[in-house]
Structure 1
Amino acid sequence: MHSVSVAGAIVDTDGRILAIQRADNGHWEPPGGVLELDEDIEAGVRREIFEETGLSVHVDTLTGVYKNIKQGIVALVFRCVPKTRELRLSEETTAVEWLTPDEVAGRMSPAYACRLLDALDTGPPRVRAHDGHDLLAAVPLDP
């Protein structure tokens, strides 16, 4: 079985990216979570971001698809534009901060940092696999 999660890459006018620190494990990650069974993808992105950060957002562009090979979770990450500015904590977050790309790389495991850093690129969505912490090398397709 697979589950599908969604996350938002929200970039401010200074090029900083919004990140949360999870209350359950202390890890820094993009705001997001598992889609509900009857939920539209974009509605899930908006709900998860609002629940974890207090921000209302416009969901813009798909920037990446990421699979946790060990847990069978497929994550869809979307670049989002904030419609509000006031941040707040929730039961799921102990911190919500705007981070520079260097801070993202320093605070997050590679499997999560790449989701936000990939969203800074303007190219096609990235497709990556990871083990929950580290990225896994892509397997080339047979010609």
Structure 2
Amino acid sequence: MGTTPKHSVSVAGIVVRDDGRVLVIKRDDNGHWEAPGGVLELDESFEAGVRREVLEETGLEVTVERLTGVYKNLTHGIVALVYRCRPAGGETHMTEEAREIRWMTTEEVQSAMLPAFGVRVMDAFEEVPQSRVHDGVNLIMA
């Protein structure tokens, strides 16, 4: 019998201001626009991981509101849990992981982000959490 595939668990925060704009970063490692997030540490809850990742990557403290989606990158075996958040304090600033930070409209998100990551932002505006798979760039329809 073969070995069981290993998966990595990541978390991301879709931070939405009162005016509906969403916090996004231009990642330093790949130059792509994405919501702030990263690998969940072994000793932390999902929500604590979201708060830590958003703070580390943007300088912003957030309140985690609710789970908005679960996404699997079939190419890399990454499972990401994405949460809608609201700003709670601090000031945004560039970091080692984020070469640029912006508050974008949903329309700007759709044109700036790869489909597999832009959909996470759009799903944060839905009533029920979504479950999706992708190849790192595009969604794969069931």
Q: Which TM-score applies when normalising by structure 1?
A: 0.93
In structure 2, give the amino acid aligned to 1:4: V
**2:60 is matched with which residue?**
55
CA distance in 2, matches of 1:99, 1:124: 22
1:119 aligns to 2:124 (yes or no): yes
In structure 2, give the amino acid aligned to 1:137: M
1:133 aligns to 2:137 (yes or no): yes
CA distance in 1, matches of 2:132, 2:118: 12
**2:96 is matched with which residue?**
91
**Deviation of residue 23 (structure 1)?**
0.5
**Deviation of residue 71 (structure 1)?**
0.5
**Residue in structure 1 matching 2:39, options 21, 34, 51:** 34
CA distance in 2, matches of 1:13, 1:124: 20
Number of matched residues? 137
**1:141 is matched with which residue?**
none
The C-alpha deviation readout for 1:16-75, integer Å capped at 9, x for no partner, is 111000011110000000001122111110000000010101111000000000100000
Query: Unmatched 5+ residue regions in structure 2?
Result: 1-5
Query: Unmatched 5+ residue regions in structure 1?
Result: 139-143
Task: Classify the secondary structure of the residue corresponding to 2:60.
Answer: coil
The C-alpha deviation readout for 1:49-102, integer Å capped at 9, x for no partner, is 000010101111000000000100000000011111511111001111000111
**1:15 is matched with which residue?**
20
Provide runs of 4+ in structure 1 moved above 3 Å: none
CA distance in 2, matches of 1:65, 1:100: 22
Please tell me the root mean square deviation across aligned C-alpha atoms, in Å.
Answer: 0.8
CA distance in 1, matches of 2:72, 2:17: 27
CA distance in 1, matches of 2:89, 2:44: 23
1:64 aligns to 2:69 (yes or no): yes
Identity %: 58
CA distance in 1, matches of 2:121, 2:128: 14
Q: Which TM-score applies when normalising by structure 2?
A: 0.94
